[in-house]
Structure 1
Amino acid sequence: MSWRSAQPPWAGARGRSWAVRDRAVRVSYAAFLRIPDDGCYVLVHNRSRPGAYGPPGGVFKFFEPGARVLDQLGFRPERPAARGAGTRSDVRGLLPRRSLRGFRAWFDSGTYREDAVECLNRELGEALAESGFAHVASDLGGSAFRPVRTVVEGPYAVPGVSWWQVRRFEIHELVATTAAAARLRHRVLELAADPAVPSVIGATTEDIIHGRCGPALVAPPTAYLIGDRRLHPDLPPLR
C-alpha cells in the first residue's frame, strides 16, 4: 500500500507559522472502495452532491468512548442539516490546530472507531439500500478488502473560510476471495452496467481524468482510485 501527503494545487498557503498554529482545522477521514472491471470503476450517486458520482465509501465513524476522547481534543462535529442523522458520529469536523497531533495519534491507534472493513461494509450497504438494492448487501459479511493507497491532503488554507483543512483518503479494493465476495462483486458490476439503474455507473480512467462520465459529474476524490493526485477542485455539498 502506498502513502502520500498531498496538497490540492488550488489550495491556499501551507505553513506552520505561529500566527496560524491555533487556527481551527477541519478534519475529514474517509475510506473508499475500488471495484475495477475491464478498465472501468464502479461509482455511486453522491446524495450530498446531487448529480455527482464517486466510489462507494465515506467518512469513518467513532464509537461512544471515542466521543470522550474527541471532546478532550476540542473536536466539534460537522452535521449539515441536509444530510440528517446519518452524519452522527462522523470523523469529520473542526478542532483546534494545536490538537491535530493528538487527533492523528488517536486515529492511528484505531481505538474507539471503525476500521476500514467496518466503514466500507457499512457505506456500501447504505449505498445499495439507498439505490433500492438492499438485498445485494446480504453478501457483505464475506467481503475482503485490499489496501491500495492512503493520501493525506493538508493542512492547507481553504479560500473563503477561516479554518484550514486536513483530509485523509484510504483506498481499498474489493477482493473476491470467497464465494460471497465474488457474488457481491458480480452483482454490483451488473448494477453499474445496467442503464435502468441510474444510481450506479461505471466510469473509465479517461472519464475520471475528464471529470465527467456522460452527463454525470465525477466527484474529485475519485481520482485517488487511479493515482495519488487530485485532478479537479471540490464540488460544494448540500448544507
Structure 2
Amino acid sequence: MVTKAARLCHRGSDGEEGPAVDFSTGSRTTRRQHVVRISFSTLLRVTDDDRYVLFDSPKRPGAYGPPGGVVKFHPPAVRLLESWGFRPDRATAGAEKMRSDLRGMLPVRSLRRFQAWFATGAYRETAEECLRRELWEELAEVGLSALRPHTRRLSFISVRTVLEGPSSVPGKDFLQLRRFDIHDVAMVTSDAVRLRRELVESGYDAERSGVICANYDDIAHGRLNRALIAPHSALLAGEARLAADLPPVR
C-alpha cells in the first residue's frame, strides 16, 4: 500500500499545465516544463530484536544504510522512457553501475504516465529481482562474498511503500519524487535463515567493518559510534525519515 500520495503540477481550468513554480526561490517562472528527479528503490529490512542490519555504502563511504538499491529497467522500456523525456542520472563515480537505473530527470508533464507504467511492472525489475541483484553486489562490497550463494533462492515479503514528493530540493531547480519499497526476507528456506543469522553476527562483530546493527535511537541520532547512518534507514521502522540526505561521492 502506498503510504503517501504523489502531488502533480498545477493545471488551469482549460486543462493546460500552468506556469511551473520555481520552488528553490519561491517565485514563478515562465518555464512550462518543470522537471522532477525520480528515484525508485527497493530496500531490504533485516532485523534482530530492535536492531536493523545496515551496510557501508561505496557511494557514501563511512555511512551505513539498508541493503538494496534502485530498480533497473529492461531494454524494451528505453523507447518509452525516451518518449517521455527521461534523462538518466549519471554521477561521475559509479556511472557504469548506474546503467539502466530508474533514477533521473523527467518532465512533470510525463510523471503520471511514468507512474502508471511503473505500476504495471512491465519492462523493469521486480522487487525480488532487484533485491537479489543488489545483495549479490553489496555482499562483496562489505566483505561477505561467501554469503552470495544464499541469495539465489530468497523470497521476500512486502512491508510498506513510501513515496516522498514531488517536493522541492534546497538549492536545486527541480522537484524530487522518490519511492521506497521495503521488504523483509521470507524465512522459508535454510538459505534465508543462514543469511539472516550471519548478517546479524557480522553486524555485531567489530572486525567486520562493512556491517553494523543499529537501533531506532541510533538511526534518529544519525550515528553509531564512528559510523554515520544514512537518514533513509528510518524508513525501515516507519513512513518518515528524520534528516536530510547525506551527499554521495561524485
Confirm or deny that 1:122 pairs with 2:133.
Answer: yes
Pairing 1:110-149 to 2, within 5 Å after superposition:
110-149=121-160
Q: Which residue of 1 aligns with 2:246?
A: 235
Q: C-alpha separation between the residues in 2 aligned to 1:129 and 1:68?
A: 33
2:157 aligned with 1:158: no
Matched length: 233
> What's the secondary structure of 1:81's corresponding residue?
coil
Cα distance in 2 for partners of 1:194, 1:138 equals: 22
CA distance in 2, matches of 1:4, 1:116: 17
Is 1:57 aligned to residue 68 of structure 2?
A: yes
Larger Cα Rg: Structure 1 or Structure 2?
2
User: 2:39 aligned with 1:28, yes or no?
Assistant: yes
Taking the TM superposition and a 5 Å limit, the aligned residue runs for 1:67-146 are: 67-146=78-157
Equivalent positions of 1:184-199 (< 5 A) are 184-199=195-210
Aligned residue type for 2:247: P
The SS at the match of 2:179 is strand
Letter in 2 for 1:126: E
Cα distance between partner residues in 2 of 1:138 and 1:231: 35
- Aligned partners of 1:159, 1:41: CA distance in 2, in Å? 29
Does structure 2 retain, via aligned residues, the 8 Å contact 1:158–1:165? yes
- The runs of at least 4 aligned residues of structure 1 exceeding 2 Å deviation read 14-17
CA distance in 2, matches of 1:132, 1:227: 29
Unaligned runs of 5+ in 2: 12-17, 21-31
Deviation at 1:38, TM superposition (A): 1.8
1:223: which partner in 2?
234
Residues 13-34 of structure 1: CA deviation (Å, up to 9, x unaligned): x963622162011000001000
Residue in 1 aligned with 2:10? 16
Identity %: 48
Answer 1 or 2: which has greater helix percent: 1
> What's the CA shift for 1:6?
7.1
Alpha-carbon distance in 1 for matches of 2:58, 2:74: 24
* Cα separation, 2, equivalents of 1:214 and 1:30: 28
CA contact (8 A) 2:9 2:108 kept: no
Determine helix, strand or coil for the equivalent of 2:197: helix
Question: Aligned partner of 2:10: which letter?
Answer: R
Shift of 1:211: 1.3
Q: Write the distance in 2 (CA, Å) between the matches of 1:62 and 1:78.
A: 13
User: CA contact under 8 A between 2:143 and 2:210: conserved in structure 1?
Assistant: no
SS at match of 1:66: helix
Q: Mean alpha-carbon deviation: is it higher for 28-37 or for 14-23? A: 14-23
Q: Normalization by structure 1: what TM-score?
A: 0.93
Q: CA deviation at 1:77?
A: 0.2
Match of 1:3 in 2: 2
Q: What's the secondary structure of 1:51's corresponding residue?
A: strand
RMSD: 1.7
Deviation digits for residues 77-103 of structure 1 (CA, Å, limit 9, x no counterpart):
001011231000000000111000111
**Structure 2 equivalent of residue 175 of structure 1:** 186
Aligned partners of 2:204 and 2:186: how far apart in 1? 19
Partner SS for 1:160: coil
